């Protein structure tokens, strides 16, 4: 019977889609915290997750969800509203009456995170210095990244009595950034300094600048893992779409 209930729960959890958190107020971070706690409860079928790191001597079974990092991302501008976007990195650890029980909890959560299209699983976890700084022994964990944004009301604009409309040709600049071995490079920063615009690559290394002029774009700069690559777009025969190979040699 237990196996049947677990199977039903896993199916129900997969049917729930965790969407990026949007907010029209200043509760963006707390709403994301709550949504992440609820995700853990849905995956495990019980409410044993809490915010923060494990205690020095934890009791029973539990899951700790600790906000590791909060960084601002470039402002996304649209025709109607602006939004401020943040990138949040959460460390997820688990404990139990036995080590195997903690590993089982962590494994279920990691598999659950892998099924969420809006979760990004970071390849690196905190080192021993992190745990020592919190007076804790090193323990198994994984790190996810979530994005959250705050919608801003548009600023009022003054009406003008006379307007002059000129047609200016525009295009989009698209491409994919590949890392070593031809693997798409996620979360690399791509900049157009001449236009003072920047973006980040998506899960499959893709990026897109909409409505850019066809000429005088200058350089395209790609930043990842502490390295930078500059591309002279005037020397590229077909500026879009681009296939950029970012070799990070030691």
> Mean pLDDT throughout 141-158?
82
Distance from C-alpha of 210 to C-alpha of 173, rounded to nearest angstrom: 6
Distance from C-alpha of 86 to C-alpha of 102, rounded to nearest angstrom: 31
Burial 159-191 (b: 16+ CB within 10 A, else e): eeeeeeeeeeeeeebebbbbbeeeeebbbbbbb
Handedness of CA 208, 209, 210, 215 (dihedral sign): negative
Q: Percentage of residues in the chain with pLDDT exceeding 90?
A: 42
Distance from C-alpha of 238 to C-alpha of 230, rounded to nearest angstrom: 17
What's the mean per-residue pLDDT of the chain?
82
Contact present, 230 and 221 (Cβ < 8 Å)? yes
* Domains 18-152 and 171-245 agree in fold: no
Fold of 18-152: STM4215-like (3.30.2000)
Higher per-residue pLDDT: 17 or 71? 71
| Model pTM score | 0.53
pLDDT at site 29: 86
Q: 160-203 pLDDT, tens per residue?
A: 677 676 666 778 888 999 988 888 989 999 999 988 899 999 99
Listed residue (2, 152, 175, 136) closest to 75, CA to CA:
152
Own/partner pairs for 191-198, CB < 8 Å, 24+ apart? 191/220, 191/221, 191/222, 191/223, 192/217, 192/218, 192/219, 192/220, 192/221, 193/218, 193/219, 193/221, 194/218, 194/219, 197/74, 198/74
pLDDT at site 104: 95
pLDDT at 110 over 60: yes
Fold of 171-245: Immunoglobulin-like (2.60.40)
Distance from C-alpha of 3 to C-alpha of 92, rounded to nearest angstrom: 25
pLDDT at site 67: 94
Domain borders along the chain are 18-152, 171-245
As given in the structure block, the two tokens for residue 101 are 């029980």
């Amino acid at each position: 019977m237990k196996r049947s209930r677990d199977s039903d729960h896993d199916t129900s959890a997969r049917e729930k889609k965790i969407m990026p958190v949007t907010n029209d107020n200043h509760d963006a971070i707390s709403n994301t915290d709550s949504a992440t706690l609820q995700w853990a409860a849905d995956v495990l079928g019980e409410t044993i997750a809490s915010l923060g790191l494990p205690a020095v001597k934890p009791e029973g079974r539990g899951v700790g969800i600790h906000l590791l990092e909060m960084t601002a991302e470039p402002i996304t501008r649209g025709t109607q509203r602006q939004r401020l976007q943040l990138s949040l990195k959460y460390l997820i650890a688990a404990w139990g009456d036995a080590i195997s029980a903690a590993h089982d909890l962590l494994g279920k959560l990691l598999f659950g995170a892998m099924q969420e299209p809006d979760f990004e699983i970071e390849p690196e976890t905190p080192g021993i210095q992190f745990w020592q700084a919190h007076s804790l022994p090193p323990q198994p964990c994984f790190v996810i990244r979530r994005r959250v944004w705050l919608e801003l009301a548009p600023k009022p604009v003054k009406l003008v009595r006379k307007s002059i409309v000129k047609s200016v040709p525009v295009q989009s600049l698209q491409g994919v950034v590949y890392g070593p071995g031809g693997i798409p490079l996620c979360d690399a920063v791509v900049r157009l300094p001449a236009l003072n615009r920047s973006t980040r690559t998506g899960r499959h290394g893709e990026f897109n600048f909409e409505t850019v002029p066809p000429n005088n774009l200058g350089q395209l700069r790609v930043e990842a893992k502490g390295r930078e690559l500059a591309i002279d777009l005037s020397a590229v025969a077909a500026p879009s779409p681009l296939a950029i190979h970012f070799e990070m040699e030691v």
